[in-house]
Amino acid sequence: MRRVPHLAFWLSLLVALFLQMIVLPDSVAAVRPLWIPLVLAFWALQDPRLPTLLASFLFGIMLDVLFDSILGQHALGCVLSTYIVIKLRGLFILFPLWQSTVALVPVWVIYAFLMFWIDGVAKHQADAWLRWLPVASSTLFWPLIFVVLDSYLRRRQRSQE
């Protein structure tokens, strides 16, 4: 019987949080992938028994506090995007990696739109086109995240057999 990888789940989310916090030059910071939603999407697809919605909320609140945004802004984006992935899990697991990469683009767009919309309501102005660069970079990084975490899980599974 396969065990639920709780430790790997929480550690990968902490690594994603660390990657989200790394200070980058302004020219590169706008292209930063959505690390937390990427990792949450992987785990939501990988194992439905994991507390991905709880983790989405907790790490979203952490992002809100770290980036001094409206409390609940990132939490709402993370929970909604993770919920969509959970609900469409049966569809996503049928796709090969390249198709799931394309199929996840609307999830990243929804997350980015929520951030854009809430910032607009709160009168936090930013270049509109810069808001959509993380969607592109997240789409490009999804295969890397998937392959790295999936290979770790497969190695771990083989070592437990």
pLDDT at 4: 59
Predicted confidence pLDDT, tens digits, the chain (161 residues): 355 578 899 999 999 999 999 999 988 888 999 999 999 999 999 988 899 999 999 999 999 999 988 999 999 999 999 999 999 999 888 889 999 999 999 999 999 999 999 988 888 777 777 788 999 999 999 999 999 999 999 998 888 77
Residue with the two structure tokens 């899980």:
153
Residue 72 backbone zone (phi > 0: left; psi -120 to 50: alpha; other: beta): left
Measured from the Cβ of residue 101, the count of other Cβ atoms closer than 10 Å reads 17
Contact 64, 20 (CB under 8 A): no
pLDDT at 1: 38
The C-alpha atoms of residue 14 and residue 62 are separated, in whole angstroms, by: 11
pLDDT at 56: 98
pLDDT at 30: 87
The C-alpha atoms of residue 104 and residue 102 are separated, in whole angstroms, by: 5
Q: What pTM was computed for the model?
A: 0.92
